[in-house]
Amino acid sequence: MKKITYKDAGVNIEAGYESVERIKKHVKKTFSKNVISDLGSFGGLFALPSGYNNPVLVSGTDGVGTKLVISEKMDKHDTIGIDCVAMCVNDIICQGAKPLFFLDYIACGKNNPERIEQIVAGVAEGCIQSEASLIGGETAEMPDMYTEDEYDIAGFAVGIVDREKIITGQNIKEGDVVLGIPSSGIHSNGFSLVRKLFFNHSQFSLDQYIQEFGATLGETLLTPTKIYYHSTFKAITENNIKGISHITGGGFYENIPRIIPQGLTANIYKSRIPKLPVFEMMQKLGNLEDDDMYSTFNMGIGFAMVVSPEEVDAVVRSIKQGKEESIILGEIAKGDQGVALWP
């Protein structure tokens, strides 16, 4: 009787070993002095940093959704890991947390060591950008769940903040100012609609050069999600930031109200938001109303911060020192809408 092995079932252990060897150099680039375990341990060990009076750990987990379909079709996998880190790290920064460490999970139909290395290299780059150590992860080869070219990725970030410095939005009041920090593009949300507009409703190709974008469609869609750690953390630590919102799935209408206390509304003026050609084109392709766009996409603003009027100049300066620009989007007023968009 013929022997039936794990490899016959579609799981290549040797490819898994090769993937681990390939990613080691990328992972170790992310290690801080607080990492006290090596790659391959059953658990990642991280010593809490000193300098906190009453430290609180802040965690976040996320993935990149169907942006992966674009990555798979282009066979380009070196930036999708940046997206994964950004989606997690940007969320915990909203609470005032400094990122400490990150873990990733990759599920695939076939363990392709070269592709796994590209993915993890992107994760490592995202960790470097956010000063988070990549202390562990898992790659699961699941041939009956995915085709050979398909995979999914998710991440988990942990940060730290002193309890008295946690940012919740509860102290936001009437008259406070809403600042916005630009996005790099679509980021990692809304790609089911993106794909429908460009490839089902219209017949664009990923390698098609689009004059308005100054790049191919594929390059534009795969632009990595911006990581806001270096541009905002100086402002967070040196100023009284009352609330921060990461504009992800659900756009302005879902994410800004998450930090606005009951009885208040953030008045946002659309004319102040820089118009990105990719959003303008999608709106035309889908004959979409502004409300449809602002309830789905970031529309050019990836981060929103609420500060008191007297803090605005200092916060703007701090963000500029982080090599980023900020925009006064509007102000907080009485109301029950959470957010209201004006021309």
* Burial environment of residue 26 by CB neighbours within 10 A (0 to 12, 13 to 18, 19 or more): buried
**pLDDT value, residue 191:** 98
The CATH number given to 177-342 is 3.90.650.10
Q: Does 177-342 match 13-165 at the fold level?
A: no
Provide the phi-psi class of 283: left if phi over 0, else alpha when psi is between -120 and 50, else beta: alpha
pLDDT number for residue 168:
97
How large is the angle between the packed helices 80-93 and 67-74, nearest 10 degrees? 160
- pLDDT at residue 64, as a whole number: 98
150 φ, ψ to 5°? -95, 150
**Cβ of 63: how many Cβ atoms within 10 Å?**
18
Band (240; pLDDT cuts 50, 70, 90): very high
Work out the mean pLDDT of the chain and round it to a whole number: 97
- pLDDT tens track for 187-211: 999 999 999 999 999 999 999 999 9
What's residue 109's pLDDT?
97
343/339 Cα distance (integer angstroms)? 13
pLDDT digits (tens, 9 = 90+) for 277-320: 999 999 999 999 999 999 999 999 999 999 999 999 999 999 99
The pLDDT-based confidence of 177 (bands split at 50, 70, 90) is: very high
Asked if pLDDT for residue 51 goes beyond 90, the answer is: yes
Residue range 104-140, pLDDT digits in tens:
999 999 999 999 999 999 999 999 999 999 999 999 9
pLDDT at residue number 60: 98
Measured between alpha carbons, how far is 85 from 64 in angstroms, rounded to an integer? 9
Measuring CA to CA, how many Å separate 263 from each of 29, 246, 336? Answer: 47, 21, 5
What does the pLDDT read at residue 40? 86
Shortest CA distance to 94 belongs to which of 309, 298, 302, 314?
A: 302
Nearest 5°: the CA angle 27, 33, 37 is 60
Helix (H, G, I), strand (E, B) or coil at 216: strand
CATH T-level topology, domain 13-165:
60s Ribosomal Protein L30; Chain: A; (3.30.1330)
**Nearest CA-CA partner of 243 in 132, 334, 331:** 331
**What average pLDDT does this structure show over 139-162?**
97
User: Looking at residue 341, what is its pLDDT?
Assistant: 97
Could you tell me the residue ranges of all domains in the chain?
A: 13-165, 177-342
Q: What is the mean pLDDT of residues 252-269?
A: 98
Q: Which residue is listed with tokens 């974008």? A: 213
- Is pLDDT of 266 > 90? yes
Task: Name residues whose C-beta falls within 8 Å of residue 183's C-beta, 6 or more positions apart in sequence.
Answer: 225, 226, 247, 276, 298, 300, 301, 302
The pLDDT confidence band at residue 1, using thresholds 50, 70 and 90, is: confident
Q: Which two tokens stand for residue 224?
A: 């990595």
What mean pLDDT do residues 232-248 have? 97
The reported pLDDT for the residue numbered 230 is 96
